[in-house]
Structure 1
């Protein structure tokens, strides 16, 4: 089988890094087209031996990109086209159908109740998405929560399959030596107790809650924010005004897997933490929380379908926190007071192994290519 993955951009982001990880475990001949921004993940894919083409799309309304994409699909002789992220799903589904590819899979990575990939869910956005969805074979939801949202939008249930995001358990396995090396590199005091936050530095992630929570905690508490985004300058100013700027570290965007770039990778930074806090009120999956669990970290979260969609016994080491800085400060203090715990991955993390996700997606591909609808019902939790 030969497949073409079409994605809006390849900067360092959850969907983009998930695509790279998936292609490392998917036994399919795959090429990748990025409509815009061939960033660090594009370089990583090329290093992995994946052919990456930059389409050079000028913007959302650059219709000249469509015939170029059609020609590329026809020339590649692909059995299947798989699209990722809103713009790529709209253009990719149309181009695949024009090019004569009947098996078209789309993954919905970031559909919330009020936004999609940070884009406000207007009636126009929803109408265009639904119109293009009908041109596909199946829409993959990364969690049962996203599958339910798609159904409420009007996507027929038989066209939806749940394939959770996956993690590389070995990559995130805790290592004491890596922890010590990374903490020295970051300049952390030996006694520092580190709260981590991972994700795009945008308003919706609510990392301001963690900055203000830090101001309510003793001086040996530190905050490590991993990610880049438009709110970084706001968060830096906020930390300064709260008197905690010296205890907040910004690492910028960090790769999921080592790629030769300066600075520690994401798993190393996770090793350096003592707790992961995710105050975002609207998540489609909660990948950072699952990665933290794989490193044996306790996790505080406000919204995390990856945890909430599982039976309670599977959520060892996690706690849902409702409220703002005061609630998070109390929860962080309680975790620390409980003392250290073994840094081993609970069953929750193991349920989201990338090999399981790749196997499940391969079943989706086979059904799409054959025109079959014999997959198990959508909305099922990983098991």
Structure 2
């Protein structure tokens, strides 16, 4: 079996990093096409030995990209095409049909109640998604929550397959040496209480709530890994609140490029509490990674946690209010002092090897069902 993965872009993000991790565990040769933005994850994939092609798409309505993409699929003689993220799903399904590929799978990474990939859902967005969804063989949901949203949209239940996102838990295991080294590198005292967050700096992540909460806790520090359009406003907010010296926006943290600084696993070892303030999530990968690092997790929305029985995510606490509620919850953590928790059962449940096995089952069913 030869598979081609098509994704909208390959900058650092949850879906992009998940694709790289998945390809490390799939027992079938795979190539990748990115419609645009061949960023740090493209470099990482190439380091892993994956062939990555940049389609050079100029915008959402660059229809000239469609025949180019179909030609790549046809020339590669792929048995299966797997698409990721909205634009790639739309163009990839059409191109796969034009190329006569045997089966087409799409993974829905970012469908929220009112947003998709951080953008408001419109009637035309939904209509185009549903029309092109019919061209594929199956749609993969990364959580039970997303599967329910797809059904509510009108995607037939028989076409939806649940394949949760996965992590490599060993990568995020707490490392006392990494904690000391990273704190020394960043000039953080050993006894400082460090709060952390990871994600794209976009309005839907509500990192302004986290900045306000930490600013109201004298002595607490915040490490925020990620980049995006909200970086400037968040920096200005920290300055207005008089907490700029305690709040650090680190940008993209892949930990692999020379001079890039610590990666997310080292940063999680450095932290004493992890917070996800997102208004909504389709999975909540960063929160699961934090649980794997033994961190107490405060979250506003996380299907990866909420879809499982409560006892499988010990150490995770939901916070639903504003910055004041979050400040109170963090103050309680500060008083308890830094401590690590054993990774809860949810971490093993979301093992990337299980996810790759489930996805291979979807591939085989789609290929065997081809008419």
Q: CA deviation at 1:259?
A: 4.7
Give the secondary structure class of the aligned counterpart of 1:246. Answer: coil
* Counterpart Cα distance in 2 of 1:367 and 1:279: 38
**Is 2:315–2:341's contact at 8 Å kept on the other side of the alignment?**
no
Give the secondary structure class of the aligned counterpart of 2:245. Answer: helix
**Residue matched to 2:8:** 8
Aligned counterparts, 1:217-296, within 5 A:
217-218=217-218, 220-255=219-254, 258-260=256-258, 262-296=260-294
Contiguous gaps of at least 5 residues in structure 2: none
**Residue matched to 1:139:** 139
1:260-288 CA-to-partner distances (Å, cap 9, x unmatched) read 45211111111111111011111110011
CA shift in 2, pair 1:259/1:21, >3 Å? farther
**Residue matched to 2:192:** 192
Matched, 1:157 2:157: yes
Q: TM-score, normalised by structure 2?
A: 0.98
**Residue matched to 2:62:** 62
**Residue matched to 1:364:** 362
**Is 2:8–2:34's contact at 8 Å kept on the other side of the alignment?**
yes
Give the secondary structure class of the aligned counterpart of 2:164. Answer: coil
Q: CA deviation at 1:335?
A: 2.0
Q: CA deviation at 1:62?
A: 0.4
**Residue matched to 1:118:** 118
Give the secondary structure class of the aligned counterpart of 2:43. Answer: helix
1:342-383 CA-to-partner distances (Å, cap 9, x unmatched) read 3431111111111111111111111111118xxxxxxxxxxx
Give the secondary structure class of the aligned counterpart of 1:104. Answer: strand
Matched, 1:173 2:166: no
* Counterpart Cα distance in 2 of 1:369 and 1:173: 37
1:185-222 CA-to-partner distances (Å, cap 9, x unmatched) read 1221222111101100111101111111112212x200
* Counterpart Cα distance in 1 of 2:37 and 2:165: 23
Give structure 1 regions of 4+ aligned residues with deviation exceeding 4 angstroms: none
**Is 1:84–1:108's contact at 8 Å kept on the other side of the alignment?**
yes
**Residue matched to 2:335:** 337
1:224-252 CA-to-partner distances (Å, cap 9, x unmatched) read 10000000010000000001000001110
Question: Alignment length, in residue pairs?
Answer: 370
* Counterpart Cα distance in 2 of 1:250 and 1:335: 22
**Is 1:173–1:344's contact at 8 Å kept on the other side of the alignment?**
no
**Is 1:174–1:343's contact at 8 Å kept on the other side of the alignment?**
no
* Counterpart Cα distance in 1 of 2:152 and 2:259: 42
Q: TM-score, normalised by structure 1?
A: 0.95
1:304 maps to which of 302, 313, 333: 302
Matched, 1:96 2:96: yes
Give the secondary structure class of the aligned counterpart of 1:245. Answer: coil
Give the secondary structure class of the aligned counterpart of 1:180. Answer: helix
Contiguous gaps of at least 5 residues in structure 1: 373-383
Q: CA RMSD in A?
A: 1.1
Give the secondary structure class of the aligned counterpart of 1:170. Answer: helix
